[in-house]
Amino acid sequence: TIVPNPASTKIQIVADEEIKMVELIDMIGNKVISTNDTVINVSALQNGIYMAVISTENAQIVKKVMIKK
């Protein structure tokens, strides 16, 4: 789960499994953030919809994140 969504300054990834990697990708396909943190500063991102690719030991999950300031 990603909270809050929409977000303006930061998002938090909440998962049952250990998160290995989180990548935020814009709608053009550019990777804008790549981290293994569960709290991510998104204040530098433009308004819009991004895809969060969350990788764990056993799965890769894709969620939509809206940035709205």
Q: State yes or no: pLDDT of 69 exceeds 90.
A: no
Q: Which residues have a Cβ under 8 Å from the Cβ of 14 and sit 6 or more positions away?
A: 1, 2, 3, 38
Mean pLDDT across 4-21: 95
Q: Which residues have a Cβ under 8 Å from the Cβ of 1 and sit 6 or more positions away?
A: 13, 14, 15
Q: Round to the nearest angstrom and report the end-to-end CA distance of the chain.
A: 21
Q: Which amino acid is at 63?
A: K
- In 10 A of CB 43, how many CB atoms? 10
Is pTM beyond 0.85 here? yes
Q: Which two tokens stand for residue 59?
A: 């799965």
Q: Could you read off the pLDDT of 14-49 as tens digits, one per residue? A: 988 999 999 999 999 999 999 999 999 999 999 999
